[in-house]
Structure 1
Amino acid sequence: MTIGGPSDSSPSKNRRRDAARVKAKQLRVSQKKKDRRNKVFLQGGIGIAAIAIIVLVSVIIVNSIKPAGPGPKNMASDGALIGEGMVTVLTPALQPDAKPRPSEPDPTGAVANIRIYVDYLCPLCGDFEEANTEQIAQWVDSGAATVEIHPVAILTSKSAGTKYSLRAANAAACVANYSPDDFFDFSSALFVDQPEETSPGRSNDEIKAVVSEAGVSTARSSINSCIDDGTYESWVKAATDRALDGPIPNSSMKSIIGTPTILVNGKPYTGSLEDPKEFASFVQQALGETYSTSTPTPTPGG
């Protein structure tokens, strides 16, 4: 008998087919398991990626929102008050959500109290500054007047997205905090070659250059860091809202409606911003009216 003849061929084929079916089934089962694993990994990867995106967005949002912090020192009235000898009155920092403490006017009426609300991007503020800063400085230095400067940021959206108005007011607050007696000169220097409204304004480095040009020599490193960090931006926004919402202390004004807003002994100045003689006349008139109402009426035999 010949081994492996025709009589054995059919069972051998059947065994091979059965083995192939088993192998195919095993492959299908294995592929299904692999597909399930890939699906789980894919879903897990999507979930992890989504969580990572949420975390990243949250970090960006948190970092972009500056928590309210204390205001600058020497601006407890929301302004810096400069008196005789160009010396800035020292005050503690205004704490978050605390109400400003208005400066007290001269009780005798003999000293003119000039109050100015300025936006460093405001062209009309620049006009008033150019025409009047020299004579105001002379009056204040001699003790004939005080000047209280309130930086506000009404035009924050008017500088091609750079928020120059806000950054400049923050820089003024930084100088008031660290080098208060240089505040007047720095505030005036911001109006020299003033950027035009709707322009990008000065960069932080250019603002820091103005600090140097204004002759600020105290705590320059701290002031520069304060400018770069936007330390008092939340305070500037709050002070701006207070000025716009009112009321305006020591005045019959309900609120400011724009910049510059100029008050002399509580009376709003509405004359020419570019005529120093007209402003000087208004100051003299306001001073005379205040003095006459502040002077006690003599009593008989007094």
Structure 2
Amino acid sequence: MGGAERSARKRRQNQTTGTVKTSPAAKSSPVAAARKSGGNRNPMIVGALVVVIIAAAVIGGVIYTNSKKSATEGAAIAVKSVDLSLPVTREGAVVVVGKSSAKATIDVYEDFLCPACRAFEDSYSGQIESKLNDGTLKVRYHMLNMLNDRSDPAGYSTDSANAALLAADEGKFLAFHKSLFGSQPEEGARGWTKDQLIDLGRSLGLTSQTFADGVRSGTYDKQISDAFQQVRGTDYLQQEYNGQKAFGTPTLAANNKIIDTSDPNWLTALTG
């Protein structure tokens, strides 16, 4: 077979087999192609994880907030005792504690829901009790309902103040007062219910039907509200708040002047 004949034969074989050359890219399998495109999935996965984490944080925050808001539900108010034997009288919505011969008399304006009032009690209740005990101090407690709308449901400031006045009628004001500040609900959260206030009274020895009925019916509610309206309009009780004069709790006064409690020696100066 000559060279020309061999060349012709080879051409005929190529035409019969239909051989087509393919590029390396065309030889890639579907799996390989998918793996190559898989690089774009990473941002999607990270984004999905971020959404999940944020959602979990939000849900966790809601659960935590709700648990704090309902912290008083099903609980009992811890009893705080006060080892003092002093005259305690109620004058309308004011509770007067101490001997009539005391050198100094102070007026204390508080709300059982007020966090600043609790801070004041934590800092000074021991010193005040000592001065009450040695007969140099008399205290007029004004339990107000300034934050009545700041509990959920609203009304705890009035309910607690009313219960404290009823406790004063039966000589248990100081222990009741100390117990409520010791177990103060959070502002904006669920307060103690009337039944829980009655249970605290029982724990302190207030077992009369008069006390329980008075808590439930709100015996002194109107007096408390009227007293707050009078207090908030009293000129010498106004203080500067953000450039404006207003009334706030706690406020302490003596001889119709506000006491500056930023001075740590204010009580000694008053009774010394």
2: distance between equivalents of 1:151 and 1:208?
Answer: 18
Correspondence for 1:257? 247
- The answer to whether the Cα contact below 8 Å between 1:115 and 1:149 also exists between their aligned partners in 2 is yes
TM-score, with length taken from structure 1: 0.54
Structure 2 Cα separation of the partners of residues 206 and 254 of structure 1: 34
- State how 1:265-280 maps to structure 2 within 5 Å: 265-272=255-262, 278-279=263-264
Q: Which amino acid aligns with 1:234?
A: K
Q: After superposition, what is the alpha-carbon deviation per residue over 1:201-231, rounded to whole angstroms, capped at 9, x for unaligned?
A: 1111111122234x2x255321111001111
- 1:192 corresponds to: 182
Indicate whether 1:79 and 2:69 are aligned.
Answer: no
Instruction: Give the distance between the partners of 2:105 and 2:150, measured in 1 at CA.
Output: 31
1:162–1:236 Cα change, 3 Å: same
Q: 1:182 aligns with which of 172, 184, 191?
A: 172
**2: CA distance, partners of 1:224 / 1:160:** 22
Shift of 1:239: 0.9
> Quick one: distance in 2 between partners of 1:232 and 1:244?
18
Q: Tell me which residue corresponds to 1:226.
A: 214
Distance 1:243 1:120, change over 3 A: same
CA 1:220 to 1:131, structure 2 compared with 1: closer, same or farther past 3 Å? farther
One of 283, 288, 292 as aligned partner of 2:267: 283
Q: Aligned to 1:157, what secondary structure does the other structure show?
A: helix
Match of 2:140 among 148, 151, 155: 148
1:245 — aligned with what? 233
| Correspondences of 1:13-32 after superposition (within 5 Å) | none
CA shift for structure 1 position 265 = 4.4
Q: Does 1:203 align with 2:218?
A: no
- Structure index of larger Rg: 2
Q: Distance between the aligned counterparts of 1:205 and 1:150, measured in 2?
A: 23
Aligned AA (1:221): Q
Deviation (angstroms), 1:266:
3.9
Listed one character per residue, the Cα deviations across residues 76-132 of structure 1 (whole Å, up to 9, x for unaligned) are 363111113xxxx8xxxxxxxxxxxxxxxx6xxx71212111100000001111121
Q: CA deviation at 1:133?
A: 1.2
Aligned 8 A contact 2:113 2:156 in 1: yes
Q: Distance in 2 between matches of 1:231 and 1:210?
A: 18
1:128 maps to a residue whose letter is: F
* Aligned Cα root-mean-square deviation (Å): 2.4
2:125 matched to 1:133?
Answer: yes
Per-residue deviation, 1:176: 2.2
CA distance in 2 between counterparts of 1:203 and 1:218 reads 17
* Shift in Å, 1:163: 0.8
Matched letter for residue 141 of structure 1: N
Contact in 1 for aligned 2:107/2:254 (Cα 8 Å): yes
Change over 3 Å in CA distance of 1:126–1:233 after alignment to 2 = same
Structure 1 contact 264–283 (Cα < 8 Å) conserved: no
1:223-275 C-alpha deviation (Å, 9 max, x unpaired):
1110011111111111111111125xxxx446870111112444323334xxx
Alignment check: 8 A CA contact 2:112 2:181 kept: yes
Provide the C-alpha distance between the structure 1 equivalents of 2:217 and 2:237, rounded to a whole number of angstroms: 34
Aligned to 1:158: 150
- Structure 2 residue 164 is the aligned partner of structure 1 residue 172: yes
Please give the alpha-carbon distance, in whole angstroms, between the structure 2 residues aligned to 1:242 and 1:139: 29
CA distance in 2, matches of 1:174, 1:166: 12
Number of the residue aligned with 1:236: 224
User: Which residue type is aligned with residue 166 of structure 2?
Assistant: C
Give the letter aligned to residue 267 of structure 2. Answer: V
Identity of aligned residues (%): 27
Distance in 2 (CA, whole Å) between partners of 1:77 and 1:222 is: 17
Q: Tell me the residue number matched to 1:30.
A: none
Instruction: Report how many residues are paired.
Output: 179
**Matching residue's letter, 1:193:** S
**Structure 1 contact 78–239 (Cα < 8 Å) conserved:** yes
Query: In structure 2, what is the Cα distance between the partners aligned to 1:153 and 1:133?
Result: 21
* Aligned counterparts of 1:77 and 1:206: Cα–Cα separation in 2: 24
Q: Distance in 1 between matches of 2:270 and 2:256?
A: 9
